[in-house]
């Protein structure tokens, strides 16, 4: 049973099951779409955090930029959504290449600080360029994609659109993680100096990881803008980067589906708790402390433990559990 949980096809099956189950358990199509969108962005974040060992606070840049690019291309250029999405992915990849290329010149804390600095830079850029971005108000009236001439204004119709893209991109990310490229990223995460010593151009691999992560994150941002009809300033804020990192860490940095789990948990818990108590983020803080202290494999680690209990197998050893997080983020 625990072996089964390591197989990528099972992870894809779980992602597909999530897509099918969300409409059954949630009343809001908007929340369900949000879970898939943030799940995608968190999985892209995980490619950097869990697979490459890069704790990037710059993911909000690509998410927000994706939102703006989608709005501008749809509104100003008047392109249809199928042409807009590849363009947004290119914008995300190009920006992530530039941000990544500059940030990976430093390691550890200084790398993190550089991504934070870029995050602030792009936020103020978006704030200042009000003519393009709408400044504080955001870029309004971003249209939904149309099918057969009719826009997908029904939340569940749009959900279906998001779900199809989500599954396609999730499978693509899995393919990346399993490729020779993804396996080299794991080597870089484990021991960067050795990866370089056996012949890998480490910087190129890191920048490529950034580019892929940036492209997928930007696509998620585009989907989000079409979901809420606005490309808001908050999407490019530092807070979005933080949210994506929290989702990734709560889910567990070990595999891509864990990030979807983390996003789902964060959004559903937020939805339920905020109705009861507006200061619910306080509870989230407590949970994050608990994850950092006691369950470093995140929610996915709990799933594994539960599976091991069911199968009456010993749980995975803590030595390998520790190593799923990169050096810098270990306590």
Partner 1 sequence: MTAASKAVASAIEPPVEPALAADGLGVRYGSFVALKDITLRVRPNSVHAIIGPNGAGKTTLFHALTGRVRAASGRITLGGRDITRTRDDDRVRLGLARSFQVTSLFATLSVRENLRLAAQGRTPWAALAPWRAVSERDAAFAVVDALLARLDLAGVAGRPAGELSHGQQRRLEVGMAMAARPRVILLDEPTSGMGTDDIGAMTDLIRDLGRDHTVLFIEHNMGIVMNISDTVTVMRAGQVLVEGRPAAVRDDPEVRRAYLGNMITGDLR
CB closer to partner 1, 70 vs 212: 212
Kindly state whether residue 202 participates in binding partner 1, applying the rule CB under 8 A.
yes
What residues contact 220, with CB distance under 8 A and at least 6 apart? 37, 38, 40, 41, 44, 63, 66
CB closer to partner 1, 100 vs 134: 100
Kindly state whether residue 9 participates in binding partner 1, applying the rule CB under 8 A.
no
Q: Which stretch binds partner 1 (CB under 8 A): 16-24, 90-98, 153-161, 204-212?
A: 204-212
Give the residue, chosen from 24, 78, 82, 180, that forms a contact with partner 1 under the rule CB under 8 A.
180
Query: Closest Cα to residue 58, out of 90, 109, 88, 95?
Result: 95
How many residues are present in the chain?
331
Kindly state whether residue 201 participates in binding partner 1, applying the rule CB under 8 A.
yes
CA distances from 207 to 15, 75, 175, 202, 253 (A): 27, 31, 18, 9, 20
Q: 3-state DSSP call for residue 152?
A: coil
* b (16+ CB within 10 A) / e for 173-202: bbebbeeeebebbebbbeebeebeeeebeb
Which H helix or E strand runs over 320? Answer: helix 318-322
Kindly state whether residue 136 participates in binding partner 1, applying the rule CB under 8 A.
no
CA-to-CA distance for 43 and 78, rounded, in angstroms? 30
Cβ atoms 106, 55 nearer than 8 A: no
CA-to-CA distance for 44 and 247, rounded, in angstroms? 11
Q: Which stretch binds partner 1 (CB under 8 A): 74-82, 242-250, 306-314, 320-328?
A: 320-328
CA distances from 62 to 56, 91, 246 (A): 11, 9, 17
Give the residue, chosen from 239, 313, 320, 330, that forms a contact with partner 1 under the rule CB under 8 A.
320
Q: Which stretch binds partner 1 (CB under 8 A): 115-123, 274-282, 302-310, 317-325?
A: 317-325
Task: Write out the binding residues for partner 1, residues 205-244 only, by CB under 8 A.
Answer: 205, 208, 212
Give the residue, chosen from 15, 65, 195, 291, that forms a contact with partner 1 under the rule CB under 8 A.
195
Q: Which stretch binds partner 1 (CB under 8 A): 143-151, 188-196, 216-224, 261-269?
A: 188-196
Packed helices 109-128 and 81-103: angle between N→C axes, nearest 10 degrees:
140
Cβ atoms 2, 307 nearer than 8 A: yes
Beta carbon of residue 138, minimum distance to partner 1 (angstroms, whole number): 33
Q: Which stretch binds partner 1 (CB under 8 A): 141-149, 155-163, 203-211, 225-233?
A: 203-211
Kindly state whether residue 314 participates in binding partner 1, applying the rule CB under 8 A.
no
Kindly state whether residue 25 participates in binding partner 1, applying the rule CB under 8 A.
no
Kindly state whether residue 200 participates in binding partner 1, applying the rule CB under 8 A.
yes
Contact residues: partner 1, CB under 8 A: 175-176, 178-184, 186-187, 190-191, 193-202, 204-205, 208, 212, 319-320, 323-324
């Amino acid at each position: 049973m625990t072996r089964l949980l390591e197989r990528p096809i099972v992870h894809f099956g779980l992602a597909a099951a999530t897509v099918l189950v969300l409409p059954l358990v949630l009343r809001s199509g908007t929340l369900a779409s949000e879970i898939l969108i943030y799940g995608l962005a968190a999985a892209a974040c995980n490619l950097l955090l869990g697979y490459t060992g890069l704790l990037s606070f710059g993911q909000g840049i690509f998410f927000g930029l994706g939102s703006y690019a989608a709005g501008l291309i749809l509104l100003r250029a008047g392109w249809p959504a199928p042409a807009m999405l590849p363009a947004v992915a290119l914008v995300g990849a190009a920006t992530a290449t530039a941000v990544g290329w500059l940030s990976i010149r430093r390691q550890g804390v200084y790398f993190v600080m550089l991504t934070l600095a870029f995050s602030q830079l792009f936020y103020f850029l978006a704030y200042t360029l009000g003519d393009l971005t709408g400044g504080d108000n955001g870029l309004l009236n971003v249209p939904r994609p149309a099918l057969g001439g009719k826009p997908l204004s029904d939340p569940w119709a749009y959900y279906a659109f998001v779900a199809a893209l989500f599954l396609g991109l999730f499978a693509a990310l899995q393919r990346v993680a399993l490729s020779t490229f993804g396996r080299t990223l794991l080597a870089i995460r484990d021991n960067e100096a050795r990866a370089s010593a056996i012949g890998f151009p480490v910087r190129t691999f890191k920048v490529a990881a950034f580019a892929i992560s940036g492209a997928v994150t930007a696509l998620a941002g585009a989907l989000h803008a079409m979901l809420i009809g606005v490309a808001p300033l908050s999407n490019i804020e530092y807070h979005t980067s933080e949210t994506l990192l929290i989702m990734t860490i709560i889910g567990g940095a070990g595999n891509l589906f864990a990030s979807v789990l983390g996003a789902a948990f964060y959004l559903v818990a937020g939805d339920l708790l905020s109705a009861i108590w507006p200061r619910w983020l306080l509870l989230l803080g407590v949970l994050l402390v608990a994850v950092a202290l006691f369950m470093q494999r995140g929610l996915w680690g709990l799933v594994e433990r539960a599976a091991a209990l069911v199968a009456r197998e010993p749980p995975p050893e803590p030595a390998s559990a520790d190593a799923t997080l990169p050096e810098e983020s270990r306590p």
